[in-house]
Amino acid sequence: MKRTGIVLMSLLMIAAVALISCSGSSSSSTGDSRQVKNGDIIQVNYTGTLQDGTKFDTSIGRGAFEFAVGKHQVIEGFETGVIGMKVGEKKVVKILAEQAYGQYRKDLVITTLKKDFKAGVNLTVGTVVNSVDQNGNPFQATVIKIEGDTVTVDANHPLAGKDLTFEIELVKIL
């Protein structure tokens, strides 16, 4: 009887150790403890706002946004902001204009003649036009003024000169 008790006690202890081991490994296999680093491909949900709280963009309702960290596919401040995040983590990242779309540049506001545009282009205030610079590099500009035979366009990014805030949730590290 004594021997049966010892065997039973040993079996219970083995079962308890096995149960603890299984529950420990099961919780770590469901959670992703990796942190975002350069070279990772990640998926995030985000909402971007201006300093006054105006929302200018969000991934909510469109599905998670995927990009490769360190490949300059997003603005510098956003990319820097996700480094070190873990799956499921949420954070608020404030990005100065210099690490977003740069400062607003007056030299990118250009006045030219209407005849310089391709025939059939609808020139109205707010129209985005495609063009090329003197080196043949393509760029977009927004028509901001039409006066007589001249058209003034602004080639700054619409968010140039603005500090941005992003609420970011790391969804997945692929």
> Amino acid identity, residue 67?
F
User: Do residues 81 and 165 both lie within one domain?
Assistant: yes
Q: Which two tokens stand for residue 166?
A: 């992003």
Q: Which two tokens stand for residue 172?
A: 């997945």
Assign 132 a pLDDT band (cuts: 50, 70, 90): confident
Residue 129 lies in a domain: yes
Range of the domain at 98: 41-102+160-173
Share in percent of the chain as helix, strand, coil (round to 5): 25, 35, 40
Q: Which two tokens stand for residue 69?
A: 């960290």
User: Do residues 92 and 169 both lie within one domain?
Assistant: yes
User: Do residues 82 and 168 both lie within one domain?
Assistant: yes
Contact predicate 44/169, CB 8 Å: yes
Contact predicate 167/56, CB 8 Å: no
Contact predicate 91/98, CB 8 Å: no
- Alpha carbons 34 and 36: distance in angstroms, whole number: 7
User: Do residues 55 and 97 both lie within one domain?
Assistant: yes
Residue 140: closest CA among 151, 148, 150, 132? 132
User: Do residues 87 and 110 both lie within one domain?
Assistant: no
Q: What pLDDT was estimated at residue 11?
A: 32
154-165 pLDDT, tens digit per residue, is: 999 999 999 999
The model's pTM is 0.74
Assign 24 a pLDDT band (cuts: 50, 70, 90): very low
Q: What pLDDT was estimated at residue 120?
A: 84
The residues pairing with 45 across neighbouring beta strands, listed in sequence order, are 169
Residue 13 lies in a domain: no
- Which parts of the chain fold into alpha helices (H)? 2-30, 76-82
